[in-house]
């Protein structure tokens, strides 16, 4: 590039860096691809100065490739600029780490890589501390340690009081489920209710493989215990046998979770017990014709969402 041209372009890039103008991004994006290493370096530096003014995500996307620029000073200024974008530049951390570990990298590049990494991580910690989390059950704001503990155990946000309640309920539920398995199907599976027995026997009679009460599958971070899972169909069956308000609220939430997770669910109710050929057979036949991706949920009988409450 001719010296005079490079000088003109450099002046323009510097001016853009001082402009505080969000529209400067598109022109600077072009300058980041300039054949002149000086112009690329100045453009990276200008973008860093405009952090907080220009759109962060596209700016980071422009800066990121400059970390592998053949010219070390371009890499140095790109790293510096990325640091200015804080949490928005989190995806640059692996590339920054690679630069830092490269023995051939000059020290001045490593220094700016180190401070950029530190700036991004600090910004991330501050953002995490500022995030306000509320208990899923009572709505109270939870402390960071409550947040961490409930996420780890239950994959949801709970205050300490609700955490203890949930843990007790979960234990009681597990015991109740095991205690309730008293009804034996023809193929020897122990189930909880007459409805479940009929479903299990219908499946066995139609030579459809099933798993009964498989423990705690994860759907969207929630632990769910489906009544039946049919591996050949990749479909879940839930038998909704009770009618209490709490049971119904849990049922609605679970049905929503299946739907949002894109899992195929067939819901069966006490009325369906006597007509499983129609209620279950027809739905399975329809599913066999529909690829899983196309059918996010087959539940047409899903009642309206009534109340938000975690499942038991
Ligand atoms: Zn709570």
φ and ψ at residue 118, rounded to 5 degrees: -65, -45
CA of 148 to the centre of ligand 1 (A): 14
Q: How far apart are the first and last CA of the chain?
A: 70
CA of 158 to the centre of ligand 1 (A): 5
CA of 132 to the centre of ligand 1 (A): 14
CA of 309 to the centre of ligand 1 (A): 12
Q: What pLDDT is recorded for position 220?
A: 57
CA of 165 to the centre of ligand 1 (A): 9
> Are the CB atoms for 226 and 254 separated by under 8 Å?
no
CA of 175 to the centre of ligand 1 (A): 24
φ and ψ at residue 51, rounded to 5 degrees: -55, 135
> Are the CB atoms for 63 and 47 separated by under 8 Å?
yes
CA of 311 to the centre of ligand 1 (A): 15
CA of 162 to the centre of ligand 1 (A): 4
Q: What pLDDT is recorded for position 290?
A: 63
CA of 144 to the centre of ligand 1 (A): 14
Please report which residue ranges of the chain form alpha helices under DSSP H: 3-18, 24-31, 37-49, 56-63, 72-84, 93-101, 107-130, 144-154, 160-180, 194-205, 245-260, 276, 282-289
CA of 168 to the centre of ligand 1 (A): 14
From the list 232, 236, 228, 189, the residue with the least C-alpha distance to 211 is 228
Query: Model's pTM, two decimal places?
Result: 0.48
Q: What pLDDT is recorded for position 62?
A: 97
CA of 262 to the centre of ligand 1 (A): 29
CA of 146 to the centre of ligand 1 (A): 10
Q: What pLDDT is recorded for position 154?
A: 81
Q: What does the DSSP 8-state code read for residue 273? A: G
Can you tell me the distance from the alpha carbon of 86 to that of 11, in angstroms, rounded to the nearest whole number? Answer: 27
Q: What pLDDT is recorded for position 223?
A: 64
CA of 159 to the centre of ligand 1 (A): 4
CA of 224 to the centre of ligand 1 (A): 21
CA of 138 to the centre of ligand 1 (A): 4
Q: What pLDDT is recorded for position 306?
A: 32
Per-residue pLDDT of the chain (312 residues; tens, 9 = 90+): 788 899 999 999 999 999 999 999 999 999 999 999 999 999 999 999 999 999 999 999 999 999 999 999 999 999 999 999 999 999 999 999 999 999 999 999 999 999 999 999 988 888 877 788 999 999 999 988 888 888 888 888 999 999 888 888 887 776 676 667 778 888 888 888 888 999 999 999 999 999 887 765 656 566 667 789 898 888 999 988 877 777 777 788 778 878 877 888 899 998 898 899 988 998 888 887 665 544 444 443 333 333 333 443
CA of 219 to the centre of ligand 1 (A): 22
CA of 124 to the centre of ligand 1 (A): 26
């Amino acid at each position: 590039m001719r010296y005079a041209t490079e000088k003109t372009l450099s002046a323009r890039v510097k001016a853009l860096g001082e402009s505080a103008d969000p529209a400067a991004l598109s022109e600077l994006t072009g300058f980041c691809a300039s054949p002149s290493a000086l112009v690329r370096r100045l453009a990276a530096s200008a973008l860093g100065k405009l952090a907080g003014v220009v759109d962060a995500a596209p700016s980071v996307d422009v800066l990121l490739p400059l970390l592998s620029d053949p010219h070390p000073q371009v890499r140095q200024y790109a790293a510096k600029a990325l640091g200015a974008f804080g949490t928005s530049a989190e995806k640059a951390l692996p590339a920054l780490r690679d630069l830092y570990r490269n023995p051939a990298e000059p020290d001045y590049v490593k220094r700016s890589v180190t401070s950029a990494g530190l700036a991004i991580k600090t910004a991330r910690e501050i953002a995490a501390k500022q995030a306000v989390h509320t208990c899923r059950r009572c709505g109270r704001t939870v402390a960071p340690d409550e947040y961490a503990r409930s996420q780890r155990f239950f994959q949801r946000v709970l205050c300490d009081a609700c955490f203890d309640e949930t843990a007790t309920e979960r234990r009681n539920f597990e015991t109740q489920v095991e205690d309730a398995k008293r009804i034996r199907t023809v193929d020897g599976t122990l189930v909880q209710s007459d409805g479940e027995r009929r479903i299990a026997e219908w499946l066995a009679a139609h030579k459809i493989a099933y798993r009964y009460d498989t423990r705690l599958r994860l759907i969207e971070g929630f632990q769910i215990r489906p009544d039946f899972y049919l591996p050949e169909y990749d479909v879940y069956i839930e038998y909704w046998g009770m009618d209490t308000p709490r049971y119904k609220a849990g049922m609605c939430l679970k049905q929503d979770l299946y739907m949002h997770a894109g899992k195929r669910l067939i819901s069966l109710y006490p009325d369906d017990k006597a007509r499983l050929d129609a209620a279950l057979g027809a739905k399975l036949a329809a599913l066999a014709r529909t690829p899983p991706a196309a059918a996010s949920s087959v539940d047409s009988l899903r009642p309206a969402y009534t109340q938000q409450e975690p499942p038991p």
